[in-house]
């Protein structure tokens, strides 16, 4: 019988990856492949009955054997590849199908196992880790070229500038079926927001798969590829490993796809392949180049070669954009999420300095480069949700040059951008849009340096308001009542310090941060597009571990509502166990405020259970030698002001909880606006 197997590679946004998906027809009797004669309704159904598979089977996992000098175990190969890509943390939950691989993880000198409370939190943590790792690499690049001449290929210290690229990668390990499905929401969010994660799934041995054994964690029908299919729409590439001969190559393929598309990839690791020997020499060839120069026109940061036709097309596009730029009187640069994900913030900064225009960011683009007015920062633009004075300046533009835009509802003020297509240029990782024209394969990695060399200096554009639409003044209020949202966020803006990592939960916190200034060297982390409640509970763990790898200490500050934290609170226990030192700011407003602002302001379904947040750290600290912790309560504005001024609180030398009491219907101005816009859209 003939069987068809598809080596799953999917990337909806990069044509070169979509075209590389391969389908083979193999003459084999392996029941782990799909018979061509199977029915359309049950394409994976095997011909023998369930009773035929109930005979006793050898379930012994593989164990280490002798290795030749030029060999390495497949499991070690995978870990070495992660280490080469600077992945130092592997998140996940142990299960019997990944335990032998975990033996190798525990022995590995560079990759640390971070056991999580559940797989969903582990996926969130891998996401947060990858984001902060990428942001730290971006910040180093920006710092390297501070003071260098815009458009020149070397920094002020003589070091070659780079084209950037995706370098922040997260890694997640789950077990077959029950484990991987628990992580699906977290992986989907990473796919949505362009965050690369390698999801490794420990699966039963190839022998058990081929025998259609009715194992635990299966659906009871002997099918072993169904969960891989469940990941098909939320990963850029998948490798369902079955043969040792191709396993290392397949691992490399999915890793390259993840770093090309900035999206998650999926690989299964059968128990009997963990210790199979593979050639060590393959590790000498990097997945991606370590660095691709600013002026290298022959290759992209992924290692993809640039064809002559693409070089010619690039020059044509540069000319088209230059023509529009020369005619424009009020051009602006609008930075969005993918400028961060693909590591081109330093190239945008170069362009801003070369042209003298102002740059604005979307909520998802914040801290792509330092938000310093002297650096060209003009404010945060969110369509109708924008500060009125900033909105007026931005919408006066006659040419909006957008870098890495992700025009989702909450990122655009419910699609309320007003830029005419004739006055819009969009730069992306794998294509460029100039007015109505689409140019595939023209990447901002090479286009930004080219534009920096030719676009005219235009320092006489309209200046934004001096406060950039950010709330720097703290309004007066009754010191003996709960603090208002209007006062809270500018207070936090003054509390922030250089280098802080600020994590804001979907809802009140992310909308409050829209108008809050962020200092030099800070990193802002939020899930604006996917918007999964509780995401930051896990993501903050990843951010903390990434921060430990930074060149100098960084505080990590989480803002999360009481409702959201109830979904992922278990990961605070992991933070305690690992002696991490976040400041966890819990906004206790007794319910889901963002939902109330959209619909059901007084409805019972937007209410939640009341928890004693002051007891949380003690509950998670049942060690013989308790870890150092602090819990703070701010029932009034006066008490909040006292805490924020306390040096013990500010120095963040241990895990701390700050519970801030707030009125249940109070909300930031941006959230009030967005709530009305969302309600109108939902009613359409």
Give the integer Cα–Cα distance in Å for 296 and 446. Answer: 8
Query: Is 86 a known active-site residue?
Result: no
- The answer, yes or no, to whether residue 8 has pLDDT greater than 70, is no
User: Is there a domain that residue 39 lies in?
Assistant: no
Q: Are residues 638 and 544 in the same domain?
A: yes
Question: Catalytic pick from 38, 45, 96, 549?
Answer: 96
Is 160 a catalytic site residue?
Answer: no
pLDDT value at residue 46: 30
Indicate if 384 belongs to the active site.
Answer: no
Flag whether 479 is in a domain: no
Tell me the HSE value of 176 on the side-chain side, using a 13 A CA sphere. Answer: 23
Q: What are phi and psi of 53, to 5 degrees?
A: -105, 5
- Pick the catalytic residue from 92, 186, 591, 675: 591
Average pLDDT over residues 24-44: 31
Cβ-based burial of 70 (10 A; exposed 0-12, middle 13-18, buried ≥19): exposed
pLDDT at 36: 29
- pLDDT for 657 equals 98
The answer to whether 357 touches 458, Cβ cutoff 8 Å, is yes
Residue 52 falls in the annotated catalytic set: no
What's the domain range around 420? 308-454
Tokens 């999801």 label which residue?
A: 199
Q: In this structure, is residue 660 part of a structural domain?
A: yes
The domain tally of the chain equals 3
Catalytic pick among 116, 118, 185, 589: 589
For 634-668, the pLDDT digits (tens) are 999 999 999 999 999 999 999 999 999 999 888 88
507 falls in which pLDDT band (50, 70, 90)? confident
**53 vs 208: CA distance, rounded Å:** 10
The domain boundary, picked from 431, 454, 477, lies at 454
If asked whether residues 162 and 242 sit together in one domain, one would say: yes
Do both 401 and 489 map to the same domain?
A: no
Residue 431 annotated to the active site: no
Residues 11, 46, 98, 119: which is the catalytic one?
A: 119
- 510 shares its domain with 591: yes
Whether residues 402 and 441 fall in one domain: yes
Residues 598-625: tens digit of each pLDDT? 887 788 888 888 999 999 999 999 999 9
Domain boundary among 284, 300, 334: 284
315 and 261 in one domain? Answer: no
pTM for the full predicted model? 0.89
Classify residue 559 as exposed, middle or buried by CB count within 10 Å of its CB (0-12, 13-18, 19+). buried
3-class state of residue 261 by DSSP: helix
Residue 43: inside a domain, yes or no?
no
**Continuous segment of H or E residues that includes residue 677:** helix 669-683
Looking at residue 563, its pLDDT comes to: 92
Q: What is the SS3 assignment for 377-435?
A: EEEECCHHHCCHHHHHHHCCCCEEEEECCCCCCCCCCCCCCCCCHHHEEEECCCEEEEC
More confident residue, 666 or 522: 522
Mean pLDDT calculated for residue range 218-223? 88
CATH number of the CATH domain containing 528: 3.40.50.970
Tell whether the model's pLDDT for residue 15 goes beyond 80: no
pLDDT of residue 548: 97
Does 151 map to a domain?
Answer: yes
- State residue 47's pLDDT score: 31
State residue 136's pLDDT score: 95
* Given 296, 562, 571, 659, the catalytic residue: 562
Spatial neighbors of 510 by CB under 8 A, at least 6 apart, are: 363, 410, 504, 526, 527, 528
Same domain, 361 and 491: no
- The answer to whether 591 is a known catalytic residue is yes
Confidence category of residue 35, pLDDT binned at 50, 70, 90: very low
Are 143 and 277 in the same domain? yes
Task: Report pLDDT for 23.
Answer: 31
Catalytic residue (choose from 24, 48, 156, 216): 216
Average pLDDT over the chain, rounded to an integer? 89
Does residue 595 have an active-site annotation? yes
Please indicate, yes or no, whether residues 441 and 510 belong to a single structural domain of this protein: no
pLDDT of residue 456: 96
Q: Is the pLDDT of residue 129 over 70?
A: yes
70 flagged as catalytic: no
378 is catalytic: no
In a domain, 447, yes or no: yes
Q: Which residue has the higher pLDDT, 371 or 211?
A: 371
pLDDT(14) > 60? no
pLDDT band with cut points at 50, 70 and 90 for residue 61:
low
**Are 319 and 399 contained in the same domain?**
yes
Query: Of 268, 284, 300, which residue sits at a domain end?
Result: 284
Q: In terms of domains, do 505 and 609 share one?
A: yes
Do both 280 and 314 map to the same domain?
no
pLDDT digits (tens, 9 = 90+) for 159-187: 788 999 999 999 999 999 999 999 999 99
CATH number at residue 428: 3.40.50.1220
Residue 648 lies in a domain: yes
Q: How many CA atoms lie within 13 A of 633 on its CB side?
A: 6
Q: How confident is the model at residue 454 (pLDDT cuts 50, 70, 90)?
A: very high
Q: What percent of the chain has pLDDT over 70?
A: 91
Predicted confidence band at 211 (pLDDT cuts at 50, 70, 90)?
Answer: confident
Instruction: Tell me, yes or no, whether 112 lies in a domain.
Output: yes
Q: Give me the catalytic one of 222, 493, 531, 538.
A: 531
- Choosing from 152, 217, 431, 599, which is the catalytic residue? 217
pLDDT, one tens digit per residue, over 543-589 is 999 999 999 999 999 999 999 999 999 999 999 999 999 999 999 99
The pLDDT, as a whole number, for residue 165 is 96
Q: pLDDT by residue (tens digit) across 409-435? A: 889 888 989 899 999 999 999 999 999
User: For position 601, what pLDDT does the model report?
Assistant: 79
């Amino acid at each position: 019988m003939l069987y068809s197997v598809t080596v799953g590679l999917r990337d909806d946004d990069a044509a070169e990856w979509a075209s590389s998906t391969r389908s083979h027809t193999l003459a084999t009797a392996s029941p782990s492949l799909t018979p061509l004669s199977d029915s359309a309704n049950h394409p994976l159904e095997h011909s023998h009955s369930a009773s035929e598979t109930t005979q006793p089977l050898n379930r012994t996992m593989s164990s280490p054997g002798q290795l030749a000098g030029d060999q390495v175990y497949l499991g070690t190969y995978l870990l070495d590849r992660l280490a080469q890509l600077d992945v130092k943390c592997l998140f996940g939950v142990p299960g019997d199908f990944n335990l032998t691989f975990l033996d190798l993880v525990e022995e590995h000198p560079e990759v640390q196992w971070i056991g999580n409370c559940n797989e969903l939190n582990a996926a969130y943590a891998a996401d947060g880790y990858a984001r902060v790792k990428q942001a730290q690499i971006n910040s180093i690049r920006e710092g390297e070229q501070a003071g260098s001449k815009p458009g020149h290929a070397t920094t002020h210290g003589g070091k070659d500038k780079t084209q950037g690229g995706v370098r922040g990668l997260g890694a997640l390990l789950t077990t077959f079926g029950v484990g991987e499905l628990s992580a699906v929401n977290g992986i989907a969010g990473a796919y949505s927001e362009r965050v690369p994660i390698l999801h490794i799934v420990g699966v039963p041995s190839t022998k058990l798969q081929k025998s259609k054994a009715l194992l635990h964690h299966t659906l009871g029908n002997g099918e072993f590829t169904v969960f891989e299919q469940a990941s098909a729409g939320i990963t850029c590439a998948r490798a369902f490993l079955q043969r040792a001969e191709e396993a290392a190559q397949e691992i490399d393929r999915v890793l390259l796809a993840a770093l090309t598309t900035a999206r998650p990839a999926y690989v299964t690791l059968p128990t009997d392949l963990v210790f199979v020997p593979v050639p060590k020499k393959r590790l000498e060839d990097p997945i991606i180049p370590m660095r691709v120069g600013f002026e290298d026109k022959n290759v992209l940061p992924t290692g993809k070669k640039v064809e002559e036709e693409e070089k010619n097309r690039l020059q044509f596009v540069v000319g088209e954009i230059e023509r529009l730029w020369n005619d424009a009187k009020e051009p602006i640069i609008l930075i969005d999420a993918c400028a961060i994900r693909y590591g081109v913030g330093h190239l945008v900064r170069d362009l801003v300095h070369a042209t003298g225009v102002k740059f604005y960011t979307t909520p998802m683009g914040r801290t792509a480069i330092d938000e310093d007015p002297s650096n060209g920062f003009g404010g945060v633009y969110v369509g109708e949700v924008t500060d009125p004075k900033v909105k007026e300046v931005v919408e006066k533009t006659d040419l909006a040059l957008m870098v890495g835009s992700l025009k989702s509802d909450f990122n655009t003020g419910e699609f309320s951008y007003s830029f005419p297509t004739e006055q819009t240029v969009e730069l992306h990782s794998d294509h460029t849009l100039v007015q109505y024209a689409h140019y595939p394969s023209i990447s901002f990695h090479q286009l930004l340096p080219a534009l920096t060399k030719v676009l005219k200096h235009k320092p006489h554009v309209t200046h934004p308001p001096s406060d950039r639409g950010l709330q720097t003044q703290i309004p007066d209020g009754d010191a003996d009542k709960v603090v208002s949202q209007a006062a809270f966020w500018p207070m936090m803006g003054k509390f922030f310090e250089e280098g802080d990592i600020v994590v804001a939960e979907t809802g009140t916190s992310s909308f409050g941060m829209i108008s809050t200034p962020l200092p030099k060297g800070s990193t802002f982390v939020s899930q604006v597009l996917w918007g999964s409640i509780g995401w930051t509970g896990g993501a903050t763990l990843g951010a903390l571990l990434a921060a430990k790898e930074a060149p100098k200490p960084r505080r990590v500050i989480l803002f999360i509502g009481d409702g959201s934290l109830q979904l992922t609170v278990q990961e605070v226990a992991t933070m305690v166990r690992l002696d991490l030192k976040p400041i966890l700011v819990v906004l206790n407003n007794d319910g889901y405020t963002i939902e109330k602002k959209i619909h059901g302001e007084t409805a019972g379904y937007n209410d939640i259970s009341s928890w004693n947040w002051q007891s949380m750290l003690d509950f998670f600290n049942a060690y013989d030698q308790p870890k150092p912790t602090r819990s703070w309560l701010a029932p009034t504005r006066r008490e909040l002001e006292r805490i924020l001024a306390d040096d013990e609180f500010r120095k963040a030398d241990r895990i701390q909880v700050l519970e801030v009491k707030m009125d249940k219907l109070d909300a930031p101005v941006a959230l009030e606006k967005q709530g009305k816009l969302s309600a109108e859209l939902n009613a359409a």
